[in-house]
Amino acid sequence: MESVKLSKGKIEGSAGILQKGMPNGQVYLAEGIETGASIAMANPKATVLVSFGISNLKNLSELVKRFKPVEVIIAADNDLKAQIKTLEETKKAQAVLSESGLHVTIKMPHSLPNQQKTDWNDVHREKGVGYLKKERLLASSR
């Protein structure tokens, strides 16, 4: 069976700009659009970019720098079954982005009961956008 690709064009180094926030503010990097949408709802002043996959996060430094962020937050997924690989890829992205001069932190949600995977959209749907606003996802590390 032929693989169906939803993207048209180059993915590497590209991202979907879900929300343009305040200049010189926080930039959130999310793997998927659902997580990005939840972050945008919780923090309307932030810039939210969607990488379309964990392996593309490390390729976004030039794009992210255009926003001149004070802080870059990788809104990581918590994938229990693939947690080691997910964490390795996320930390690799953090290192590459940091080497380019960006201040980068990783924010990963705690696992929700009875779920093999938890992302920030899952937390939003389970606990509401108010919880995201109070949760460590929006807390600056600076």
Q: What is the pLDDT of residues 109-130, one digit of tens each?
A: 888 888 888 999 999 999 999 8
CATH fold for the domain made of 16-132: Dna Topoisomerase Vi A Subunit; Chain: A, domain 2 (3.40.1360)
Please give the share of the chain, as a percent, with pLDDT higher than 70.
Answer: 85
Cα–Cα distance for residue pair 50/52, rounded to 1 Å: 6
Q: What are the residue boundaries of the structural domains of the chain, listed by start?
A: 16-132
* Tokens of residue 4, six digits: 């169906």
CB neighbours (10 Å) of residue 62? 9
Cα–Cα distance for residue pair 28/85, rounded to 1 Å: 21
Of the chain, the end-to-end C-alpha distance in Å amounts to 49
Q: What is the mean pLDDT of residues 100-108?
A: 94
Residue 1 pLDDT > 90, yes or no? Answer: no
Cα–Cα distance for residue pair 118/78, rounded to 1 Å: 5
Q: What is the pLDDT of residues 60-74, one digit of tens each?
A: 999 999 999 999 999
User: What 8-state DSSP symbol labels residue 43?
Assistant: -
* Dihedrals phi, psi of 29, to nearest 5 degrees: -110, 120
